[in-house]
Structures are given as structure tokens and as C-alpha cells.
Structure 1
Amino acid sequence: MAKHFMRRSEEPHPQRRATQLVLGLLWFCIFPSSSHQDPSQRCEIIPGSMTLPVLEKKGDIILGGLFSLHDMVVEPSLSFTSQPPPTQCTRFNFRTFRWMQTMIFAIEEINKEAKLLPNITLGYKIYDSCSTPHQALKAAMELMGSEKGSGVVGDTDDNLTCNGTVPAVIGDGGSTQSLVVARFLGVFQVPQVSYFSSCACLSDKKQFPAFMRTMPSDFFQVDALVQLVQHFGWTWVGVIAGDDAYGRGGANIFADEVRKLGACVALYEIIPKNRAQAAIASIISKIRSSGTRVILVFAVEQDAAALFDEALREGLTDIQWLASEAWSTAAVLSTPSKYRHILQGSMGFAIRRADIPGLQDFLLRLHPSNPDAVGDPFLVPFWEEVFQCSLGTGRQSKPPCTGEEELRSVTNIYSDVSQLRISYNVYKAVYAIAHALNAMRSCVEGKGPFPLQACADIDNIQPWQLLHYIKQVEYLNSFGDETKFDENGDPAAMYDLVNWQLRPDGKMEFVTIGKFDETTIIGVKKLQIQEEIIMWNGNQTEVPLSVCSSICPPGTRKAIRPHFPICCHDCVVCTAGEISNQTDAIECVRCLPEFWSNDERTVCIPKQVEFLSFSDTMGITLMAISLIGSFCTCVVVFIFSCYKNTPIVRANNSVLSFLLLFSLTLCFLCSLTFIGRPSEWSCMLRHTAFGITFVLCISCILGKTIVVLMAFRATLPGSNVMKWFGPAQQKAIITFCTLVQVIICTVWLVVAPPKPHKLMPRESATVILLCDEGSPVAFALVLGYIGLLACICLLLAFLARKLPDNFNEARLITFSMLIFCAVWVAFVPAYISSPGKYSTVTEVFAILASSYGLLGCIFAPKCYIILLKPEKNTRKHLMSKGVSDKF
């Protein structure tokens, strides 16, 4: 055995090597004669060593049991001058006592039915581990090294070997105790089946090769809890753990998995094992300051009770407690009325429950006067604790028991079989070992699983052989549940999601509101919840909100706060042109170019189309100005028609005057083509009409200017120049000049005509409809040609400004051309720099301003004379030299 231990101690893990070394030394100290592998060597108890209280029953095969029947151990004061007193365990646990009785019930059920193990009787040896690792280790050592029986069929006191008295152990309950026991039993390959140890660390087969359990690993429980947090959208969760392997291990996994989902741990605190009030009060204070509404308590029921006691003292309410499996159905918390108003609505996962027929009657059979109670070291403290009386054990503080006490007359956790969950695990653990023994007994020689296809010797069971069969166990029990172990010794994970709800009578009820099944097929949700029947803390039906920052509504995005956890953020309104249509959006989405965000920044809506419309103020104003200009031109035409025979109208060719007025009317009217929704036809019309009408207008003025100059030259002696500038030649000049512009516009329309264009600036809520010039070169040629004619006209008029008085119209033409050129020189930069529809407004304004300039400068003085100064509208007056000075 020593060599076997040393071989296993060569594992590279330093913590395991140290633990095994300590266990080996303990083994040599307690069982010194077992230092050789000779099977004839006997195990002996060191004289003076103290044995622990044990509940045992003989049988062909003895099963070991470890149960934490007490919650605490009173540490004695060691003087090192005398033998230490026996360990004193306190705070009897009724719930664990029920678990122990369930093991006995299952063993007796198997023996009674004799179907599973015919001709074989199971016995048991059960120890109290007192919820402490060192007490559990002492009990495990006694199971492995007792001097009474070997636990195999046919064994006698003379056939004692160091294999120990039991081939398998059921227990312990707590993960911390099981860690120590599993390391010890694993050295000797003794199978251990735990019913309540859920620490994920125990799934490591390198450290715990002989450990199995009917309790799912905390890894699966944490997975269920994380999915629960994700389902209800909690992102600011507190975690409080017990100071043991169960609490720390499960809480660490939970915190890591929650962070992977993007949620945050608001606080992470440990409940000290001494449960000091000051330390727990500090935890309550941190809960208040954290602002979290949801807290997971991953601890055993005793640690959880200490936390809730302090929460009651501090008046901590409005917390939605999430329970780990260890206390999710704990009667010690649900039964006392003091916890109800703070734990009402609590939620947690519990392992699957079952109703075990006959168990309650078996539990209630106990009585100190029964013959089978003789030698039971645990019945006396149980009985005295239940009835608060003394059975003559020296406890003078309690009155003596009358002997008429009956368990049926009291209601407590022990006799409550409504939530048989851990008890069911104990029941399954016993049957798993029984099925393994049955498989071992059914082995056919020559087809066995061991070297040379050998079978195990049922009369001399080796623990490592039984371990092989337990790993292969797979059966369907009478409740329809399948029991088997995976490669890590873990069962399939199936949980009920329970909700603590107050009944009308004031009692707490565990209502199953969902389930978690790790074995579900792909595509089916592992977590299923009936939200409509949930009652939350404070008897509320709405899901509590637990976030560091408020949920960002649609139309906003999350902005992380510097130096804060990722769950703490500010909600920033999306900028114009961007939206977010979901809560807690990480970023806003920019709308497509033709769309813009609404005022709430939740939907992209089509941008408002903007163009120079007949309905807006600017369009109406320009249209009115255009129509007024056309009307004024028509009035001038009417006046000139009425006074067409007067000298001032006939001067310089009245036909040109009427043609000029006609072209000015077209200039005023062509500005209307720039107002309204741009279309292909309107875009082509507005630019060509503008170009041609203005060339026609300037051509008429040019013709009038040339006539003025030529008329002066015709008055010179010997000059015959007027014959070249008669009416026909004037019409030819106008036609030629206009035809050039017509050709330019025609080519423009054929090659690259103007067309509607949508201008969609990213930072604007409007789509601007414009007429694209099509060909900038053509547009420049049209404007350039107009400017060329205007410059020629201005130059000629300037040269004729000081001609004799009857030709004083040259001064008016000069002034009108100055206004015309000034307007269009200013137009070019204004047109280029004007945004959106205002470029169109600029162009219309230039057209109207230049048209009004021509109409006012050339025709207003003449109308003034015709209507208001008729005495000056005579040939004599026009020919007199003095008129010129006043005109």
C-alpha cells in the first residue's frame, strides 16, 4: 500500500502531491502495520486513539456513509499535557438527518425486495462529519481502517486486510468536506458517490479519480443562472459567496460567465465562516451603495441565514435574491416567518424532486424505545432537539422526556417530504452502487472487463473493481429518471426553477416556474420559464430592473463612462441623420442619403424635397416681381402704341423699340420657368429660354446703338453709310446675333442637356432638387456670349454718349448696360457660392434685376416725357440743343 501511495504521489500537481503526502503520513501513523502490500497484514487502531460515533448495521457488503448531522464543531482548548477531549459537534441539522435516514431506507428497501441483489444483504456504517473537513477526514479514515470486518461476503475478524471495511462510500454532503475525503479515498481507488457536493472542481478526474455524484456540477447550475440573468436582462448583478469550495468555486464561475455576456458584477463579497456580524454588516452596506437590485447568494443555507439575519437587522429590502441550489428550497429559511418579507419572490434552481413511497412512514418510525434504536448515537441528540427534552444524557437544562413523545405529533423539516430533492439524490446513490454490485455479480467468466477478461471476486470485492462498474452504471429507476455518470463522474444536469411565493395562509411555497435541462437537443432552449406565474420581491408582477445605468431608449446610444465598468454608461441622443431603433444600442446607424431621422431619432424618413416652389414665400415673391415686370412692359408697349407717331417714339426706329419691349417681356416671363419642381422639360426650357431671350434683347439694344452711331456719321458731308444700316440690315444683325445663341443652345440640348439633379448633403434634412447644367462648357458659352454682346453694346453706347442732342438715347443705353453688366458680373460668384435652391434664386434675381434695369433706364424717361411732359415730345424740342442738357 505504501508503494501504491508513493506512485500516485508522483503526480506533477504540487497541491495534490502535498495532500497525498499528508494523507500517507496519517495512514502510516494510524495504521502502522499496513506499510507493506502483503494481504495478510492486519490493520490495527493505535492504542489510545479515539473512535467516532457510528451508526452501523451488519451485512454481506457494508456501505459507508458520511453526513453532516451537525453544523458546527466546538474546538476544544488543547493543553498538550493530557489526551484531548472528544470532538463536540453542535447545532443538529434535521434536514441532513433525513438524508441519512433515506440512505438506510434505500438499503433496507433493496434488502427487503431482494430482486436487485438476491442472496446478498447490504449493511452500512454511517458517520457524522459535523460540516468540517477534518472531521470528515477522520470519519473516512475510520471507514477505511476499522478493526471490525472487511465489508465483503464471508469476512471474519480473522480475515482483516488493509482494504478497509467498505468497498464504497456515500457522501459527503458539502463540497469542502468531499474535497478532502475524495483526495483520501482516491489514493486507494475507493469509489465515493456524493449526493450534495456540486463544486465544479470535483469533476477533475486527475485529482479525484474515484469521485462521482448524483448531484449535478455547479458548472451546469451556473450555466442555468447565467441564462436566467440574460433572460431577464439584468446587467448589474451582485454576487455573495460562502467561504468554502462550494461558494467560492460557483461564484467565480458565475462572475466570469456573466462578464462574458457583457453584464457586470456590481459587488463580489465573501461571507466569513465565523459569520462575524461586523463583516456581514459591511456586506449589507456595500449592497446598499452598489445600487444593484439582483443578488446571487452562492452559499450553504447556514451562511445564507447569517446574511439574511443581518439584512433584517439593517432593514434591507427591495432586493431580488437569486438562490444557489444549496438553499433554493431550504426549509430553515422558508419556514421562519421573519424571513418571509425579504425572501418572498426569491428565485433559484433546485435539482429534480421525487415522491418516494413509504419514506415518510419510515422517517416517523423512530423512537428511543424501539429495539433498533439501541446503539444509535444520533437518535438521542435528534430526539432531544426535536422535543427539547432530556433522555438522561446529562443535559440538566432541559426537562426529562416523558416517553410519550411521537414524531407524528410535530411538523418539522425532518418529516417534510414535499421537497425530496437531496434525499432523492441519496436514494439514487444507494441504488447506483447496488446496480454496480449487481453488474459485478452478473459477470461471466472469460468475458470480464479486467485483465485476461477476468471477473471480480464477489466474495472479496476490491474497491477499484467496484469503481469500474459504478462508472458504467446506467439504469432507469421506478420514477422514470435515468441514472448514469459521464466521463467526469457527473450526472445529467436537470433543474427546476422555483419561486418563493407566499400563500394566503402566510406560509412560503416553492412554486416551479420553469426548468433547465442540459440534455435537450440542439435547437431547443435549455431554459424554459413561465413568466406569467412569477411573483417578484415585494409581491410584484413586473420584472425588477437591475442595471448600473438606465436602459437607453430607441433614439439614443450607449456612451461608456471613463473609469467605470462597461455596464455603466450614459445615453447620448443620436445625431441628426442617424437613428437607433432598439434599446441599449451600441451605436447609431446613419440613414441612407435620401432619408433623414425623425425627431425621436428612431426611424429614417424620406428627406423633405426642397426646390424653388410657387408655394413658398421666396417663389411667390419672385413670381410677383416677374409678373409685375411683364405687366409694366406691356404698359410701355401700350403707351408706345398709342403714341407711335410722336417724335420720341419714332426716334431710332420704333420697330426696334417694340421688338426690344417684346424681348423684355420674354425675359421677365422666362424667370417663371425657374420656379416650380424641376423636370427634364423645365430644365431644358429655363436655360435655353433665358439664353435666347436675353441675346434677343441685347441684340435689339445693339442694333439701336449702331443706328445711333451710324446716324451721326450719316450727317457728315459725303457720308453714305446709312444705306448699310437700314431697317433690313438692322433686322439681319438682330437675327444673326440671336441665331448664334440658338445654335449654341441647340448643340447644348443635343450633346448634354440640362436635367434634374438631386443634391443630397449628408448633414441636411432636405433633398435639394436642382437643374444640373449638363455641360458646364455650354452653360459658360451661353453666358459668355450674352456678356460679349453686352460688352460690345456698352462700348458702342459709351462712344455715342456725347453725340448731338437728338441722339441722347445713347446715354440711356450706356447707363442701362452698366447696370446690366454689373448685375451679371456680381451674379457669377453669387451663383457659385449660393447653397441649394438659393443658387436658382440668385439666377432669377439676376434675370429680373437686369430686365428691370433695361426697362427702367431705356423706357422710363421716354414714358415720363410722353405722359407728363408732352410739350417736350416735339421734333423742334428734340432738335434744340438745350433739351439735351435737361434730358
Structure 2
Amino acid sequence: MKPKASVNLPDYVHLHVLLWGILSVMFNQVETKAQQCKLIPGSMSLPVLQRNGDITLGGLFSLHDMVVEPNRLFTTMPPHPRFNFRTFRWMQTMIFAIEEINREGKLLPNVTLGYKIYDSCSTPYQALKAAMELMGTEQDSEVEMVDNHMCHGTVPVVIGDGGSTQSLVVARFLGAFNVPQVSYFSSCACLSNKMEYPAFLRTMPSDLFQVRASIWSDILTGHGWVVRQSLTMRDAMAAIVSRIRSSGALVVLVFAVEQDAAALFDEALRQGLSGIHWLASEAWSTASVLSTPKKYQHILQGTIGLALRRAQIPGLQDFLLRLHPSNSDASENPFLIPFWEEVFGCRLGERTLMENENYKPPCSGTEDLKSIKNIYNDVSQLRISYNVYKAVYAIAHAIKAMKSCNDGAGPFLLQACSEATNIQPWQLLHYLKEVEYTNQFGDETMFDQNGDPVAMYDLVNWQLGSNGEMQFITIGMFDGTAPAGRKKLQLQDNNILWNDNKTMVPQSECSSPCPSGTRKAIRPNFPVCCHDCVVCRAGEIKCLRCLPLFWSNVERTACFPKEVDFLSFSDTMGKTLTTVALLGSLCTCWVIFIFSCHISTPIVRANNSELSFLLLFSLNLCFLCSLTFIGRPSDWSCMLRHTAFGITFVLCISCVLGKTLVVLMAFKASLPGSNLMKWFGPVQQRAIITLSTLVQVIICIIWLTVAPPTPQKLMPRESAIVLLLCDEGSALGFALVLGYIGLLACLCLFLAFLARKLPDNFNEAKLITFSMLIFCAVWVAFIPAYISSPGKYSVAVEIFAILASSYGLLACIFAPKCYIILLRPEKNSRKHLMSKTNVQ
């Protein structure tokens, strides 16, 4: 686990460091042979894995993940730590490299390397305690100080620790004694400060190379990206995710340790943030805690990250798998038992369970590491393990250089060499800083003046394999050793799969130049360079309004004349209404033809056949006048449609009124002493119809004279259409025309209602009553529908009202008569019509 740029260490850690600093000064002021190297009084020895050799290398590995500091009140048992298989592989890699060097004997002939390895438990306190034991000897032994620096038998160099937080503490302590420390996984840039950490070196590139060097800038600018913001750990992940969402960035560089990155992605999942192309810093670019869980796959697929150089170390996997409790050296390994029990979920021997430890069944003895697959024996991504491997070999090359020193040509005072049998840490530190070699994998290992290696990274792409598991595909590399004039970054764009399996390079910048048809809108609380591109409103180009009769195209780059819209004969609605109107006219003509063929029959002659033919003629005009409402409005069509509608409907209602009066008067005239029929003869009926229609004609003439209907263009501000309609001109004139029709209809309905129960076998008043009810219902519903309908739909509503009321009159008044004429001719007789048998 690696810290942020600044690390707040616990106070007790600073106290330990200060204490040992004071002790180191005291050692330089007192006779060396009077001093002894002892452990802190009252402390307990930590478990250690060691093997003797001519030169012993110290090792610090966080084999257990202890995220909670020990409770020094001793009121509760400490939590049971989790065994880290990955770190255990690192430790085994150190042992493998040491045994490989000893076995081959080419690098250090006649010299055997040993090791002394402690578990730092992922805590600064435990790491410092382990480092202190590395600097001491077996408890209560008396060993002399040498050169005021350290005792015989202690390690001259330490490999570790993994986390930067632990290394910061250990480096301060070891630096006080000039004991070289080579870390394999501590990347904090602060450790490059040689004033504070003079003996610290590492095979892990510093974070400084990622942050300040050209790696990320080359990647970002090479794809035309402007990343909104790099992320380190903050207090509120929700705020970070919200900021990413609001920024609009599609490519985000997350510079954080894997635990913090996991917290960020958990919040991204909670808020539903997706479609982001993530760039991973080295700390989490190959983290299994992020690549393994299925929940992260859909948002992290396509991630590109910097990863440490990977190597295939021959023989390492066999070395890892040969580990077994039954081996002869197993009893000397205090870390084997917790590892084995954690891997197989069983308990070795008769060990007593610790408090807070779950019960495990006894191991059967047949367990084999080859039968399981976990991160311990997975050697497909040897990156940190490779760093451990290089650290061991770097120390071996330093020891070789030290052993190869010729007297009189040494690097120390008076050109002296180090003692062959007494290697001093400060001397080994000098040779470590001078190490420069190329290993069997072709990688160069060396340290700069800050103890940092040359930055070399693989670029990996997270791709989902066919087996559903995330794979790290190498798509390039960054070589910090490349000479001037040669590109350090090599990237294979063709092999990259981005988020959602896209192959096209995503675009991401704070704010792209606004394209044509948009304008810039400043984002509040954002830098000036960040803006939103707001699409110009419809009807604008360059966000300037087009002229009233013009409208912008989709791209908002030019103005074009607006489309003219009206109820035409060519559109679907116009065709439908035309068909219905012509069908009504044909039905009316068909009734006229039937009545003409049977004009002498009683049912046609009843109630004055002349009125029936006049009513049919007016109904035919009503159907045809609806056609004047369809088509492009003009001065003549606007005046014709309203006047024709008003006059023909009054003529129609006047005929119905005449027929109603005839029914009433015929009944009254049949009473003894009545002479009313002489006042309602054919001449009087024609006069009533003529006078009633003349009133509407006069209203229309006045309307057309004062304020006639005229064509009108409606241009809604937010519409690309110009509506062509007929303006009524005078609203009063239009209201009088409709009002007069309504007055006659109500009068006709009232008279027909009075005559509905007159004794007659064929009482036409009933049919008139039904027809006028339909007529009045249609026109009462017409008024709100007409007012609320937009544009050409108001015209369609008026046509519908005309046709519906016309069909109502035709069907109610004439359909029963046609039924008798055509299908029941026996009832078409004077005898039947005068019969009183069915009086209501």
C-alpha cells in the first residue's frame, strides 16, 4: 500500500525515530568496545525466516494485512490479520533469487548468500520493530560495535519494505546507521530526498516519473485528450464522481493507490457513472482487487495504465509449488503454517485456535499447491516479484564489485577497499549506488543520484477475455533509457480496446471548440477555458434569429424559407374529408333519384314532396360546401367557404322548419272548424323558406362588406412552418352567422318535439326531432373544439361539424322513407299512412 505525497505518521513512530537518532549520536561519542547491541528491553522476538550464509540479506515483507494499529491498553484481543498471498510470493521470489545465485555460483563464486526475513504486517510500527531486530542479534547476546555503526552478525542490507508508509519509517531508522535499504514497491516521491533518507534505494520507479515526466503527457496529447483532472485521495468520493460527471470529461486519470481507486469506483457504480475511459497510475493498473470482481468489469473495461515491467522468471513457478509442510526445511519457516492454513482452509497439527479465529478442520496431508489457482502461484504478471528479483541481483552485483576491489585502487579513504570478511553497510551502500548491469531479460538496472531506477513501464490495456476474466494486454512501453532523439513512448493504438469494446480513440478535452450552430456558455466555478457549447435555438444561425418567413437548417448554419402548411387535398386528412364529403353528396343524389322514381307514391307526396326535394338539394350543397374549406386559402375561397356554409345550412334548416310546420298545421287543420292550412299552403311554405334564407344572405353581405374573411399567415415563433388559414375578419359577423343557424335549429327542434306524439302511423316529426338533436349536439361540441384546435386542425373540425350534421339530417329524415320505398313497398300506401292502429 502506497501513501499520498505527504504522509502523516503516528506520533509514536516519530518518537521511535527520534529515540534511535539520539542513540546513534551517543554511540559515536562512547568507546565502541564498551557497547553492546541488544534488543529493546522487554521486547519479544518476532517470527523470522532465515538461512545462514557468508553474507545475510535482510528482508521486510507485509505478509499480513493489519490495517488497525495494536491496542496497547490490552483490553481486547487484536484482530486476526489476513494473510497476503501476493506478498508471500514476493518473499519466495527473494529466496528463489538468492538460491539461484548460490546454485549457479557465477556471480559470487565462493560466496554464499543467506537471508533473514521478517513480516512487517502492513503497519509502520511492526515494520520499525522488524528493522530494529535486523539491526540486532539474538536476544541477550553480547556483540561488539564496529566503527560506531553496527554489530557483527547483523545484516548489511535490507530488501523492503513494500509499502511507502512502512519504508518511510524504516528508511529513517536504517539511514541513521547508513544501512542500505532497497525497496521493491515503495514509489512515494518523498523517498528520493537523500537529506532525509540517505541510504534508501529502490527498484520501483518513483511516482515522480508518472506525475512530472513525459509519460502521461505523451499519452494524453498523443490522443488529443485534455484530461479534466487527475485524482488523488479526497475526503468525499461522492464529490469526486459528481465533479467528473459535471466536467464532461470522458478520459480521467486516476492517480491513487488501489484501495482509494476501489473506493472511487464503488461510488461511481453507486451513482451510475459509466462511459468513462480510465487511465490508471502504476499503483492500481494491474490490481487484482479491481480486475477480478465482476462488478467493476463494465466500467473498467478498456482502462489503460502504466505497469511495472513484466518478466517470465524461469523456474520460479516450480519453486513456488514445491512448498509443502512435509519438506525438511518447513519447520524453520514460521510463515508456512498461516499460509498453508489460509490457502486450504484447514488447520495443521494440534494448534490451539486463537481468539477471534474461525474454526478450521484438520489438514489431511494430501493438499498440494498444484491443485489450486490463486495469486500466489500465478506467474503471468510478475511485476513486483520482478522488482524483488532485481533487488537481490543488484545487491549481488554490488557485493561482486566490492569483492573485486584491488588494494590501492579502492573508492574509500586512501584508496582502500573494504575488508573481505567484514562488509560494512556504508561501504556496500557506496557500491550499490554504482551498480549498473543488464540482466538476462535485457533490462538495465541502475540507480540515479536519488537512488531511483530508470523509469521503465509497460502500457497495459484491460480487455475482457472470452472466459469472462479481465486480461492485461501489453499495448506499448515507456523506456526511460531511450537516447535523445528517440521516442521514449511506444504505443500500439491498433491493439487497444476502449470502453464498451470500441476501437476508435475517444475524444476528451475540457471544452472543445464550439461548432457552427452553437455558442459558448461559461461554466460557473470552472476555469475560463472550460465552457459548454449550447445549441442555438431553432430558427437561429450563429444564435441570431432568422427573418420571420425563414427558418434555420438542422446544423444551424443557414436560413431557408419556412414550409407553408394548410389543409390540402394532397395530405391524408384532406383526402379523407374530401372522400367523406363526396360520399355524402352521392348518397344525397341517390335519395333524390329514388324519390324521383317514386314521386307519385304516398310516402313521397306526404308533407309536401316539393319541400323534400328542396331539402335534399340543400343537403347536397352542404356536403359540397365543405370542399371549399380544403385547399390553399385565397381571398375568394375564404369569402366563399363561410358564406356558402352559412347560407346553405340556413336553407337546409328552413326546409326542415317548413316540414315541421306542415306536420303541426296538418293536425290542427283536421280538427272541426279549423282553416289553418290555407295559411300554410305551398306559397306560404316557399315564403317562409325564402325569408329565413334571406336573413342569412343579408348577414353575409354585411359581413363581406364590412370585414370579410381573408387569408392569414400564422408564423409561430418556435416553428419551422407557416400556417395558411382564413381569418374570419369580423368575429361578430361569424358569430351572427353561426348564431342564426343555431336559432333556426333550436326553433325547429322545439316545434318537432311538440309534434312528436301526434296520432299518425308515419309521423315525420319524430324523425325531425332526432335529426335536430344530432344537429344541435354536433354544433354545441364544435365551439370548444374549434377554439382549442391549432392551425389547420381548426379547419378540419369545422368540416367535420358540417359533414356530421349533414349526415345526421340525411340519415334521420330520409333513411326510413327509403327503407319503406325499397324494402317495404306494402307500407307505401295511403291506407297504411292514414291508419290509426299504431297511435302512440
The normalised TM-score by structure 1 is 0.54
Q: Residue 342 of structure 1 is aligned with which of 295, 299, 320?
A: 299
Q: 1:30 to 1:185 in 2, by over 3 A?
A: closer
- The residue number in structure 1 matching 2:168 is 179
Q: Is the counterpart of residue 333 in structure 1 residue 290 in structure 2?
A: yes
Deviation by residue 1:399-458 (Cα, 9 ceiling, x = unmatched): 222111111101111111111111111101001111111111111111111111111012
- The residue number in structure 1 matching 2:94 is 103
Q: Is the counterpart of residue 211 in structure 1 residue 200 in structure 2?
A: yes
Q: Is the counterpart of residue 361 in structure 1 residue 315 in structure 2?
A: no
- The residue number in structure 2 matching 1:751 is none
Residue pairs, 1:193-272, within 5 angstroms: 193-222=182-211, 223=213, 224-242=215-233, 269=234
Q: Is the counterpart of residue 495 in structure 1 residue 457 in structure 2?
A: yes
- The residue number in structure 1 matching 2:825 is none
1: distance between equivalents of 2:404 and 2:519? 68
- The residue number in structure 1 matching 2:118 is 127
2: distance between equivalents of 1:465 and 1:171? 19
Q: Residue 504 of structure 2 is aligned with which of 542, 550, 553?
A: 542
1: distance between equivalents of 2:364 and 2:267? 38
Amino acid paired to 2:316: L
Q: Is the counterpart of residue 430 in structure 1 residue 392 in structure 2?
A: yes
Shift in Å, 1:533: 1.6
Shift in Å, 1:523: 2.7
Tell me the number of residue pairs that the alignment of Structure 1 and Structure 2 aligns. 522
Q: Is the counterpart of residue 508 in structure 1 residue 470 in structure 2?
A: yes
**1:561–1:570: 8 Å Cα contact kept in structure 2?**
yes
Q: 1:201 to 1:63 in 2, by over 3 A?
A: same
**2:17–2:169: 8 Å Cα contact kept in structure 1?**
no
2: distance between equivalents of 1:556 and 1:516? 40
- The residue number in structure 2 matching 1:302 is 259
- The residue number in structure 1 matching 2:279 is 322
**1:70–1:89: 8 Å Cα contact kept in structure 2?**
no
1: distance between equivalents of 2:22 and 2:219? 50
Q: 1:72 to 1:35 in 2, by over 3 A?
A: farther
**1:76–1:85: 8 Å Cα contact kept in structure 2?**
no
Residue pairs, 1:44-63, within 5 angstroms: 44-63=38-57
Shift in Å, 1:491: 1.2
Shift in Å, 1:479: 1.4
Shift in Å, 1:376: 1.8
Q: Is the counterpart of residue 525 in structure 1 residue 506 in structure 2?
A: no
**1:20–1:187: 8 Å Cα contact kept in structure 2?**
no
- The residue number in structure 1 matching 2:249 is 292
Amino acid paired to 1:113: E
Residue pairs, 1:331-730, within 5 angstroms: 331-391=288-348, 392-394=351-353, 395-553=357-515, 564-569=526-531
Deviation by residue 1:541-591 (Cα, 9 ceiling, x = unmatched): 223333343443489997866753143135699xxxxxxxxxxxxxxxxxx
1: distance between equivalents of 2:251 and 2:66? 30
Shift in Å, 1:30: 12
Q: 1:432 to 1:39 in 2, by over 3 A?
A: farther
1: distance between equivalents of 2:77 and 2:221? 50
Q: 1:33 to 1:85 in 2, by over 3 A?
A: farther
Shift in Å, 1:393: 4.8
Higher relative contact order (CA 8 A, sep 6+): 2
- The residue number in structure 1 matching 2:128 is 137
Shift in Å, 1:33: 8.4
**2:187–2:204: 8 Å Cα contact kept in structure 1?**
yes
- The residue number in structure 1 matching 2:150 is 163
Q: SS at the partner of 2:260? A: helix
Deviation by residue 1:455-475 (Cα, 9 ceiling, x = unmatched): 101211111111001111111
Q: 1:534 to 1:439 in 2, by over 3 A?
A: same
Q: 1:374 to 1:34 in 2, by over 3 A?
A: farther
Amino acid paired to 1:237: R
**2:120–2:130: 8 Å Cα contact kept in structure 1?**
yes
1: distance between equivalents of 2:358 and 2:532? 66
2: distance between equivalents of 1:434 and 1:346? 37
**1:355–1:417: 8 Å Cα contact kept in structure 2?**
yes
2: distance between equivalents of 1:508 and 1:37? 61
Shift in Å, 1:75: 3.4
Amino acid paired to 2:217: V
- The residue number in structure 2 matching 1:263 is none
Amino acid paired to 2:199: A
Amino acid paired to 1:166: V
Q: Is the counterpart of residue 66 in structure 1 residue 60 in structure 2?
A: yes
2: distance between equivalents of 1:40 and 1:112? 40
2: distance between equivalents of 1:416 and 1:135? 28
Shift in Å, 1:90: 1.6
Deviation by residue 1:661-701 (Cα, 9 ceiling, x = unmatched): xxxxxxxxxxxxxxxxxxxxxxxxxxxxxxxxxxxxxxxxx
2: distance between equivalents of 1:415 and 1:365? 11
Shift in Å, 1:138: 1.6
Shift in Å, 1:120: 1.7
2: distance between equivalents of 1:39 and 1:48? 24
Amino acid paired to 1:213: R
- Alpha-carbon RMSD across the aligned residues, in angstroms, is 3.5
The normalised TM-score by structure 2 is 0.57
- The residue number in structure 1 matching 2:138 is 147
Q: SS at the partner of 2:134? A: helix
- The residue number in structure 1 matching 2:32 is 38
2: distance between equivalents of 1:199 and 1:314? 31
Amino acid paired to 2:453: P
**1:212–1:490: 8 Å Cα contact kept in structure 2?**
yes
Shift in Å, 1:194: 0.9
**1:445–1:455: 8 Å Cα contact kept in structure 2?**
yes
Shift in Å, 1:531: 1.3
- The residue number in structure 2 matching 1:842 is none
Shift in Å, 1:520: 2.1
**1:34–1:41: 8 Å Cα contact kept in structure 2?**
no
**1:497–1:512: 8 Å Cα contact kept in structure 2?**
yes
More deviation, 497-506/36-45: 36-45
Identity %: 67
Deviation by residue 1:477-522 (Cα, 9 ceiling, x = unmatched): 1112221111111111111110000112212111111211222233
Shift in Å, 1:69: 1.6
Shift in Å, 1:78: 3.2
Structure 2, unpaired ranges of 5+: 1-8, 536-554, 558-840
Q: SS at the partner of 1:240? A: coil
Q: SS at the partner of 1:371? A: coil
More deviation, 193-202/523-532: 523-532
Residue pairs, 1:725-804, within 5 angstroms: none
**1:173–1:197: 8 Å Cα contact kept in structure 2?**
yes
2: distance between equivalents of 1:281 and 1:211? 37
Q: 1:472 to 1:321 in 2, by over 3 A?
A: same
2: distance between equivalents of 1:86 and 1:440? 48
Q: Residue 78 of structure 1 is aligned with which of 72, 89, 105?
A: 72
- The residue number in structure 2 matching 1:188 is 177
